[in-house]
């Protein structure tokens, strides 16, 4: 019998990441992802993904400078972005724009330089489209800002606060990689035909935009907006539980204990929450929800998941819902690239079999 959706089928060996749902662990090349999110920069973790080790200061500086130089949109891509219809969603625009980057410089075999180039330019594409949909002037990237700081700057036109940079950087590190998920598998399948990195990332973006994979944590955002302030948290949550309604942002299909990504974001939020009212609200809601879930649902082991803190982070930095999945994509691109690089090291084209269940006439 076929394994529907390839569930439980091991399709590759990887050194990139390890997930233990029972113990609540997410490991990037031997390092706990939560530790990296708290102590390392986005660029440092990218280097780890692509080069299999953390960089020294010289290597980190070289990568930062290279990524800073690769942020600007080429003139032809701006023309394409300007010509796309207004009713095209941001993920559709991103897929189309990334595909247009597929010039000879991205030909097989993929390189770490290619990975850095595509990771660097995707936030600029997202920010450019965002401003065009709002009728505002796109903000040019700056070559003196770090990756996450520059992304926030391009969206708002103002230098972000250290609290917002730290929160979004942790989120982007924690969503950079998560095993052989649907979009990562798509990237590896495309790459296995010895197609280029751009084609692999384009395929992955097409997969990410599906609602079963890259959906935004909008329901958690709505919940936090409805609660409004810390003082209202207990009565609001009790009301939900009394009516036997679901509290969004708690429980996970893979993790049977605390989602390690949520744990890391929680640490960030609790350390900086007093600097931002929405992060402070999220921390208070989490604490009260965990307390009341134990009271109303004893033995269920319902813990905070990453969507809860993703929503808190996005709301705190005023990121609109239409940017949630594109921002997730901007971080996951680094992980896709790592898998494409790994696929190229010992490549065999993916060619699974199918059971014919039709008729013969």
Q: Report residue 336's pLDDT band, with 50, 70 and 90 as the boundaries.
A: very high
CATH class label, 218-316: mainly alpha
Residues carrying CATH 1.10.580.10, the chain: 37-214+323-345
CA distance 237 to 289: 7
- Residue 99 clears pLDDT 80, i.e. is over it: yes
Catalytic residues: 252, 307
9-21 pLDDT per residue, tens: 788 899 999 988 7
pLDDT given for residue 203 in this prediction: 97
- Residue 315 clears pLDDT 80, i.e. is over it: no
DSSP 107-123: PSSP-HHHHHHHHHHHH
pLDDT given for residue 303 in this prediction: 78
20-37 pLDDT per residue, tens: 877 878 999 999 999 999
- Residue 208 clears pLDDT 80, i.e. is over it: yes
How far is the CA of 265 from the CAs of 173, 186, 208, 332, in angstroms? 10, 28, 22, 17
**313, two tokens:** 């982070």
How far is the CA of 214 from the CAs of 26, 167, 324, in angstroms? 19, 20, 9
132-180 pLDDT per residue, tens: 999 999 999 999 999 999 999 999 999 999 988 998 999 999 999 999 9
pLDDT given for residue 254 in this prediction: 65
pLDDT given for residue 253 in this prediction: 62
How far is the CA of 175 from the CAs of 87, 128, 361, in angstroms? 28, 22, 50
pLDDT given for residue 163 in this prediction: 86
CA distance 205 to 200: 9
- Residue 256 clears pLDDT 80, i.e. is over it: no
User: Nearest Cα to 19, choosing from 128, 169, 179, 133?
Assistant: 179
pLDDT given for residue 6 in this prediction: 78
- Residue 8 clears pLDDT 90, i.e. is over it: no
CA distance 213 to 204: 11
CATH number of 37-214+323-345: 1.10.580.10
Across 187-204, average pLDDT:
97
200 vs 298 pLDDT, higher one:
200
Residues carrying CATH 1.10.230.10, the chain: 218-316
- Residue 217 clears pLDDT 80, i.e. is over it: no
- Residue 273 clears pLDDT 70, i.e. is over it: no
What residue ranges in 271-337 does DSSP mark as E strands? Answer: none
pLDDT given for residue 247 in this prediction: 84
pLDDT given for residue 216 in this prediction: 57
CA distance 328 to 178: 12
- pTM score: 0.89
């Amino acid at each position: 019998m076929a394994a529907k959706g390839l569930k439980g089928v091991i399709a590759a060996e990887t050194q990139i990441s390890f997930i233990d749902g029972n113990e609540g662990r997410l490991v990037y090349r031997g390092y706990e992802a939560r530790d990296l999110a708290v102590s390392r920069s986005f660029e440092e973790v990218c280097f780890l993904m692509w080069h299999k080790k953390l960089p020294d200061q010289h290597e980190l500086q070289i990568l930062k400078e290279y990524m800073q130089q690769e942020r600007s949109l080429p003139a032809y891509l701006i023309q394409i972005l300007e010509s796309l219809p207004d009713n095209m969603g941001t993920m559709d625009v991103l897929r189309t724009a990334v595909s247009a980057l597929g010039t000879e410089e991205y030909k097989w075999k993929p390189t770490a330089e290619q990975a850095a180039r595509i990771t660097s330019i995707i936030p600029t594409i997202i920010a450019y489209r965002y401003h065009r949909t709002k009728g505002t002037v796109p903000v040019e990237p700056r070559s003196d800002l770090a990756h996450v700081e520059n992304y926030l700057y391009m969206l708002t036109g103002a230098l972000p606060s250290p609290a917002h940079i730290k929160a979004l950087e942790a989120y982007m590190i924690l969503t950079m990689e998560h095993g052989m998920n649907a979009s990562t598998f798509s990237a590896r399948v495309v790459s296995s035909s010895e197609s280029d990195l751009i084609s692999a990332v384009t395929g992955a973006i097409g997969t990410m935009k599906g609602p079963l994979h890259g959906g935004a944590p909008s329901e958690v955002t709505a919940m936090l907006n409805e609660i409004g302030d810390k003082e209202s948290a207990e009565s609001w949550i009790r009301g939900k539980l009394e009516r036997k309604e679901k509290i969004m942002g708690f429980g996970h299909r893979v993790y049977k204990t605390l989602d390690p990504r949520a744990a890391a974001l929680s640490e960030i939020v609790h350390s900086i929450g007093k600097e931002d009212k929405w992060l402070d609200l999220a921390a208070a809601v989490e604490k009260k929800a965990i307390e009341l879930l134990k009271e109303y649902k004893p033995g269920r082991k319902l813990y905070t998941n990453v969507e809860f803190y993703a929503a808190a982070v996005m709301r705190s930095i005023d990121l609109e819902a239409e940017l949630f999945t594109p921002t997730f994509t901007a971080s996951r691109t680094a992980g896709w690239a790592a898998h494409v690089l790994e696929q190229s090291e010992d490549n065999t084209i993916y060619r699974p079999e199918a059971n014919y269940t039709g008729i013969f006439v």
